[in-house]
Amino acid sequence: MLTDEGTEFSLSSLNGQSVVLYFYPKANTPGCTKESCSFRDVFPNLRKVNAVVLGISPDGPAAQVKFRKKYGLPFTLLCDTEHAVAEAYGVWVEKSMYGKKYMGIERTTFVIGEDGKIAKVFPKVKVDGHAEEVLAALS
């Protein structure tokens, strides 16, 4: 998988650290922007508990890096353009908007422990207060 900077990335490179992996549908959309900025705002406190934050969406590197820089996000965004990671985590689902069905990301956050195992799942995330909820789970 690629990072927003276009370099190869593997979650296994973060063994020994807690990881907050949040899946969001699309960069630069209102809900995704609000969610990402809230993780940005609690980021110093997440670092204090040895947590790494990673955002992941189906966007490519150009869209992700633009999004990260526009909002000053201090963490890496991952590009799941083939949605293989989203499928593996079970968050690539059928959605419906205005009666039209399509496949997309179900906003979900995974907290992965220092042992590399999923410690907590936040399914069907509501953006307001979510980053603080994740921080509380890690503290």
Residues of the chain with pLDDT under 50: none
pLDDT at 1: 87
* 7-22 pLDDT, tens digit each: 999 988 998 899 999 9
Choose the catalytic residue: 20, 32, 56, 78. 32
Domain boundaries, the chain: 2-138
pLDDT at 97: 83
32 flagged as catalytic: yes
In whole angstroms, give the CA distance from residue 7 to residue 118. Answer: 25
In whole angstroms, give the CA distance from residue 138 to residue 43. Answer: 12
pLDDT at 86: 97
pLDDT at 15: 85
pLDDT at 139: 81
Match domain 2-138 to its CATH number in 3.40.30.10, 3.40.190.10, 2.40.360.20, 3.30.1330.10: 3.40.30.10
Reported as type and span, the H/E element at residue 108 is strand 108-112
Pairing of strands 51-57, 108-112: unpaired
Structure token pair of residue 88: 């593996």
In terms of Cβ atoms closer than 10 Å to its own Cβ (0-12, 13-18, 19+), residue 114 is middle
